Amino acid sequence: MKNGYLILETGEIFTGEWLGSEIETSGELVFNTSMTGYQEMMTDPSYKGQILAFTYPMIGNYGWNNVDDESSSPAVEAVLLNEACGSPNHYQSEGSMEDYLCKNGIPGLAGIDTRALVKKIRQLKTLRAKITMNPDATVFNVPLVTSKESLVRSVSVKGYQYYGDKNDPHVVLMDYGYKSSILNALLEEGCRVTVAPYTTTFEEVERLSPDGVLFSNGPGDPLDLKTYFPEILKISKEYSSLGICLGHQLIALAYGGNSEKMLFGHRGSNHPVKHLPTGKVSMSSQNHGYVVTSESIDTSLFEPLFINVNDKSIEGIQHRTLPVKGVQFHPEAHPGPSDTHFIFKDFVRSLTTGGRMLCQQTI
């Protein structure tokens, strides 16, 4: 195999074996601690613009398949791993990790000391890096996008997409880079879904006549979308609303909250979150680099719904008078535990009752 090099913006160089498509790229360097679900991670649009390091030592054990993609193609810019399994074993497997990366035009490096790399990221915070075959290539590529909003623009649908039966409760899924498992969760709960571009206005939502609106996950800084805060505010005041990950942040900011970049984010499938109404702790799947600051939340409008057990960051909010809530984690999981799937059920109930759902059930 050819040698490849991961060059950090601080100057450190990690050497590995080139894997996948032979193209050089750069992006924000992040890591995920999940033990399984590498295909779902690579196809999660929230990873657009990022180089993903897997902390689990061997990746590719069960190959890749035709059912686990979270979008039509991988969104991640490149992947880093310690060991790539060349002979996967699973009844649904269509090939190896190497096959998948080559098929989808994604570069990667194997043989990377991911433990040392993650320690470096934790020391230096999230930083930019590049993958190259030239160890002397210290000049970073031109940024992958011409503006920060382009991250969302590059993964959002360009027109409406329709799913489900016309007689079912109707949800508009605002697409900032939604995962297919979110759509599937809504369909499994008996909803009709219209996937709409992230630029969809309040008036356009009105013409779609939904029973509720779900603001999806997606890549980047929520402040990059501040142009759309007034529309998000109007939509959520009129319709039962649920925000997931980036969508949660957008709801909070539309109502006057603030966000900040985390040291190195929450990315993994074992993050404990405490449900404040019941005191129950659930394990959650997470993938975000920004967080809503707790002190910025207007407590006359919102009450906290979940907090992170590890760092006490806000993981969910509930409007005090409107059927509007947001969660920072992914209740649909994929990959990860389904402990908090009840959030979808609660949201769907709010579509038919028109009332405020407090998630007060035992979980």
List residues forming the annotated binding site.
Answer: 46, 218, 220, 246, 249, 287, 289-290
Residues forming the annotated binding site for L-glutamine? 46, 218, 220, 246, 249, 287, 289-290
Report the interhelical angle of 342-353 vs 180-188 (nearest 10°): 60
Q: Are strands 192-197 and 212-215 parallel, antiparallel or unpaired?
A: unpaired
Of 266, 319, 330, 334, which one is the catalytic site residue? 330
DSSP lists the bridge partners of residue 25 as 131
Long-range contacts of 199-205 (CB under 8 A, 24+ apart): 199/156, 199/228, 200/172, 200/174, 200/231, 201/231, 202/231, 202/234, 202/235, 202/238, 205/172, 205/235, 205/239
| Contact (Cβ atoms closer than 8 angstroms) between residue 85 and residue 60 | yes
Catalytically annotated residue among 70, 288, 332, 359: 332
> Three-state secondary structure along 22-80?
CCCEEEEEEEECCCCCHHHHHCCHHHECEEEEECCCEECCCCECCCCCCCCCCCECEEE
> Does 332 qualify as catalytic in the annotation?
yes
Residue type, 212: G
Whether 245 sits among the annotated catalytic residues: the reply is yes
180: its two tokens: 């297919």
Q: Kindly report the number of other CB atoms within 10 A of residue 109's CB atom.
A: 26
Catalytic annotation, pick one of 245, 275, 319, 359: 245
39 in Cβ contact with 69 (< 8 Å): yes
- How far is residue 337's CA from residue 341's CA, in Å, rounded to a whole number? 9
Instruction: Say if residues 303 and 320 touch (Cβ distance below 8 Å).
Output: yes
Residues designated catalytic: 245, 330, 332
